[in-house]
Structure 1
Amino acid sequence: MLSKRFPRMSVALAGAAVLLSAGTAYAQAGFSLSGKPVIAMLYYGPKNDGGWTQAFDEARVKIEAALGQKIQFVENVGEDASVIKPAAERFISRGANIVIGTAFGQSDAMKDLAAKYPKVAFLNGSGTTNGPNLESFYGRTYESQYLCGMAAGAASKTGKLGFVAANPFGVVNWTINAFALGAQKMNPNATVNVIYTGTWNDPVKERAAATALIDQGADVIGQHVDSPTPQIVAQERGVYGTGHHRDLRQFAPKATLCSSVWVWDRFLVPELKKVIAGNWKPEPYGAFIPMSGGGTDIAGFGAAVPADKVKVIQAERDAILKGKQVYAGPLKDRDGKERVAAGAVLSDADLWKMDWFVKGVVTQK
């Protein structure tokens, strides 16, 4: 995900920990378009980046088919308001009345635009600002990463897993912990060594991290970074991996066991239909989408995951779709501190600020 989309995230997540789950509420009378719907999208990066932006572009094609209309888009809209606002206003001047952003760093500009253009509907993937005509949305990636962890645990011969992560933020830490919990469901003794690259998209650093983890004995490499490099390295070294953002079998068909994939069309199609139908009511604290609502899913499985284990993973997927919680108690961290009591579920606010790890996770820089 996120490359320079999150330049201020180390600071922002302290507040953003509750923005999507506990933002500023407002009176909702419902929003209705004035005129025929015209949709435009602001892509953070190039549409063929292999990860975050490409997942949005692939969703766009499906949304067009579902709604029966073309969607305008522009690539490489960064996080500077001086770029974001003119791009959006160019579309609005041409008649767009639904604008979809795709980056955390577009949040403030989206808020300003929503205030300036109250008759335009704004949605923003991975954003943190919301309002009467603005809704940010993000997926509960820990659900699909938990399932990928199960695949990793099932395929591993040693129980030693590695994970290439970008930054030690809540949205990454919850995927690491979920990956570990999934692996341990299949192998209670599984461990996960983590190396943070310090950046969301740096193939050189990702290669170095994946190589180091394999050298340390990991025979499956998980990831929460933008590029497919960890999967490519896994294939080169004759081990396995699990992908993030998209089905990374495209890049490493022999190595990739499964991937946590974005399925934005499953959320955006019904949400856009609400906007088009009239009286749309954006979630006042943003939409934090479960797998059942079209946030993420899994794609796979590789041949290294035994058929009987695939059935177990699919059964767990079905349970999550029916409401099973990954972070249900009792749950302790690796230091023995209780994080979730028996019968309780970790709150959304605690998910966003997650700075702890479950047993079996070893973090390195």
Structure 2
Amino acid sequence: MKIKSWLGVIATVVVAIGSMTSAVFAEERGFTLKAKPRIAMIMFADKKDGGWTQAFEEARVRMEKALDLKIAYVENVPENAAAITPPVERFIKAGYNIIIGTAFGYSDTFLTLSKKYPDVAFLNASGTTNGPNLQSFYGRTYASQYLCGMVAGAMTKTGKLGFVGANPFGVVIWTVNGFEMGARLMKPDVTTTVIYTGAWNDPVKERAAAQALMDGGADIIGQHVDTPTPQIVAQERKGFGTGHHRDLSEFASKATVCSSIWFWDRYLTPEIKKIIAGNWKPNPHGAFPSVKDGPTDIAINKKLVPEDVVKKVMAERQALIDGKEIYAGPLKSADGKDVITDGKVLDDGSLWKMDWYVPGVIAQR
């Protein structure tokens, strides 16, 4: 009996070790599709919105060619679970096994869906949730906005810049700060006044904000909202503007001096190739690629921007590619607090949580 008992114990231990080993190996192996890849994209707004969503639509078309795969899509999906879940589940039931989301507000729902469908790979732009088959991604837009700020700082005559922002979230605040820091590199006493509309896509509020900023003396308007309205207002008022998401000189060729732009396919194409290859391992903290990696960059309107300014901006762009850090100490906030000590660089967690402004930023809610 004792021998049999010990044999039972040994067998149990072996099985347990085998299970643990399998779990470890599974974790090491990462995520692998169980069928041929079929890709679908869930779009937050209209694919021709002129900004954020259109940048994804343009990337989708390029990705189809690069991957030699058709990418299905659905437009105008709001940021709530009741709206997100049905189209995603319809795609999954139809055999789609790579789902790409395009909104911050999809984060929690995508996490829930990724747990419900562990054999499906999920990617979500500007998201905050991650898992074994889910990776959120975003770009370091403070870098491209920093470069746009350089253009604005070089070209302002009043020394007053305006900025139309959607919401005072970390990903918007860091663009405002980056914009002002770039501007001060060219004009040390320049200021940036920011007005938040409370919405990513609201042309009426964006128009009112841009007009108020220009009434207050701003001669160049930056933005982190989804439509080209601030650029259109700048052109109507015979000022200048810097766009976001896409090259917005398409809408205001006499005003838009540069734009912070997205090339999402530069990130998504190689990432999807990793998923297709198998053993995909999402970053547990999400992907946060830079100008060097390609998804965020600057487009300069060389018809409006002097050649010497273009050269300075492109030299700074190369410095960023070579490893220069924008949020490096010593750096104080607008209220005089030490936010980055000498020799330190702001870590990614602190970037996401940014709730302070650099000197020269005037925030209006």
Root-mean-square deviation (CA, aligned residues, Å) is 1.4
Taking the TM superposition and a 5 Å limit, the aligned residue runs for 1:89-238 are 89-238=89-238
Taking the TM superposition and a 5 Å limit, the aligned residue runs for 1:290-329 are 290-329=290-329
Q: What is the match of residue 88 of structure 1?
A: 88
Q: Give unmatched runs, 5+ long, in structure 1.
A: 1-25
Q: What is the match of residue 55 of structure 1?
A: 55
SS at 1:201 equivalent: coil
The C-alpha deviation readout for 1:164-183, integer Å capped at 9, x for no partner, is 11222211111111000000
- Equivalents in 2 of 1:259, 1:82: separation in Å? 34
1:57 CA displacement = 0.6
- Equivalents in 2 of 1:28, 1:240: separation in Å? 52
The answer to whether the Cα contact below 8 Å between 1:104 and 1:128 also exists between their aligned partners in 2 is yes
Taking the TM superposition and a 5 Å limit, the aligned residue runs for 1:344-363 are 344-363=344-363
Q: What is the match of residue 339 of structure 1?
A: 339
1:328 CA displacement = 1.0
SS at 1:291 equivalent: coil
Counterpart amino acid of residue 182 in structure 1: G
SS at 1:288 equivalent: coil
1:308 CA displacement = 0.7
The answer to whether the Cα contact below 8 Å between 2:111 and 2:131 also exists between their aligned partners in 1 is yes
The answer to whether the Cα contact below 8 Å between 2:249 and 2:301 also exists between their aligned partners in 1 is no
SS at 2:292 equivalent: helix
1:348 CA displacement = 1.2
Counterpart amino acid of residue 99 in structure 1: I
- Equivalents in 2 of 1:28, 1:81: separation in Å? 32
SS at 2:152 equivalent: helix
The answer to whether the Cα contact below 8 Å between 2:153 and 2:184 also exists between their aligned partners in 1 is yes
- Equivalents in 2 of 1:38, 1:293: separation in Å? 25
The answer to whether the Cα contact below 8 Å between 2:300 and 2:310 also exists between their aligned partners in 1 is no
Identity fraction in percent:
65
The C-alpha deviation readout for 1:19-46, integer Å capped at 9, x for no partner, is xxxxxxx955411111211111111111
Counterpart amino acid of residue 125 in structure 1: A
The answer to whether the Cα contact below 8 Å between 1:154 and 1:305 also exists between their aligned partners in 2 is no
TM-score, normalisation: structure 2: 0.90
The answer to whether the Cα contact below 8 Å between 1:254 and 1:302 also exists between their aligned partners in 2 is no
Q: Report how many aligned residue pairs link the two structures.
A: 340
Q: Residue 207 and residue 28 in structure 1: after superposition, are their counterparts in 2 closer, same or farther (change >3 A)?
A: farther
- Equivalents in 1 of 2:263, 2:252: separation in Å? 21
TM-score, normalisation: structure 1: 0.90
Largest Rg, 1 or 2? 2
- Equivalents in 2 of 1:117, 1:221: separation in Å? 44
- Equivalents in 2 of 1:203, 1:231: separation in Å? 11
1:356 CA displacement = 1.2
Q: What is the match of residue 22 of structure 1?
A: none
SS at 2:124 equivalent: strand
The C-alpha deviation readout for 1:311-334, integer Å capped at 9, x for no partner, is 010011111112211111111112
Q: Give unmatched runs, 5+ long, in structure 2.
A: 1-25
Q: Does 1:258 align with 2:251?
A: no
Counterpart amino acid of residue 239 in structure 2: V
Higher relative contact order (CA 8 A, sep 6+): 1
Counterpart amino acid of residue 333 in structure 2: D
